Amino acid sequence: MGAGGRMSVPTSSKKSETDGLKRVPCETPPFTLGELKKAIPPHCFKRSIPRSFSYLIWDIIIASCFYYVATNYFSLLPQPLSYLAWPLYWVCQGCVLTGVWVIAHECGHHAFSDYQWLDDTVGLIFHSFLLVPYFSWKYSHRRHHSNTGSLERDEVFVPKQKSAIKWYGKYLNNPLGRTVMLIVQFTLGWPLYLAFNVSGRPYDGFACHFHPNAPIYNDRERLQIYISDAGILAVCYGLYRYAAAQGMASMLCVYGVPLLIVNGFLVLITYLQHTHPSLPHYDSSEWDWFRGALATVDRDYGILNKVFHNITDTHVAHHLFSTMPHYHAMEATKAIKPILGDYYQFDGTPVFKAMWREAKECIYVEPDREGDKKGVFWYNNKL
């Protein structure tokens, strides 16, 4: 990455697991958003078309190379090696396409260029390629950013209170139950959210990202939902033609399985960014945008931080300044950390260990019992 992109979170910020589980402050911060912005070098807010395209083109080149090698050389391998080559392709291609997904997500935040039409064009093309309804998700995701940490208005991974846990919840609160739930969450969670709003904010009516009249959207946004659907249908038709020419098995191998991995990473990343024992949630009596935006956590995915364009380890800065390009986010994070102090949460716990811990510890939220803030809620797991 460039100047900002090469910078890493200092080792000293990687807290021990015990420190990482310590509750972050839930009071109104002693600093303002303006003070945080002032601490960030001004160039971090500048979007560059050549630089933004350079990351996208690089991802496309790598993905195309993987595709070329898989379709031209895997069939020449001896039988045992092909069983190893295809899983390796699926994982590598899934990781690279997750990076493409992140860039399309930046377009939805107007962080790709200074031109909204260009951002929407690039975002529509590449989100559609990954079967994401671009405008539909752009609008619901923006509302997530506007309502992060709110128990009533946040859009996704809204935690339940104990009274809302289903009767069978206690029977799933064991290693086998958690394993099944995680498998379902990371394989079907994304399409179920898009199609049926599973794990999303409750709405009156059928909340579907493909339905222009869904209650998620207002009247000014409905036409663009049709455009999103047209993009998805165009890609589905292309996949149908590819399967007709090359076979369904080929289509699933070169595209279908990598897409499952992209979807799994998307859910995993989002889940771990907003689910952590140390993070508060707020009801309407306590919530405000600033504290809600701070109620997220940066994670360490190792080398995948770079592959995923640092959406994993700069998510706090992303929620505070969502129009900032990803290639400046590391520099911005380093600049604001001294001001954030205890309000900044970084957890360096290995990802799969953290995933299991959060699934075990973060079952529901309940009001704060240690202080007098009745509108502040923390995770618990005692059923």
**Residue-wise pLDDT tens digits, 259-285:** 999 999 999 999 999 999 999 999 999
pLDDT at 11: 42
List, edge to edge, every strand of the sheet that includes 364-367: 281-282, 376-380, 364-367
Give domain status of residue 213, yes or no. yes
pLDDT at 7: 40
Give domain status of residue 21, yes or no. no
Name the nearest CA neighbour of 119 among 135, 95, 132.
135
Give domain status of residue 283, yes or no. no
Angle at 296 between CA 295 and CA 302, to 5 degrees: 160
pLDDT at 61: 98
How many structural domains does the chain have?
1
Q: How far is the C-alpha of 154 from the C-alpha of 102, rounded, in Å?
A: 21
337 token code pair: 């950390």
Give domain status of residue 288, yes or no. no
Q: How far is the C-alpha of 123 from the C-alpha of 109, rounded, in Å?
A: 10
Give domain status of residue 290, yes or no. no
Q: How far is the C-alpha of 19 from the C-alpha of 17, rounded, in Å?
A: 5
Give domain status of residue 72, yes or no. yes
* DSSP 8-class letter at 74: G
* DSSP 8-class letter at 344: -
Domain span holding position 93: 44-273+348-360
What does pTM read for this prediction? 0.92
Residue type, 342: D
pLDDT at 170: 85
Q: How far is the C-alpha of 64 from the C-alpha of 146, rounded, in Å?
A: 36
Q: How far is the C-alpha of 74 from the C-alpha of 59, rounded, in Å?
A: 21
pLDDT at 18: 47
Cα-trace Rg, the chain:
21
pLDDT at 106: 98
Give domain status of residue 79, yes or no. yes
Give domain status of residue 232, yes or no. yes
Low-confidence ranges of the chain (pLDDT < 70): 1-20, 370-372
Asked whether 378 and 366 are in contact (CB, 8 A), the reply is yes
pLDDT at 10: 43
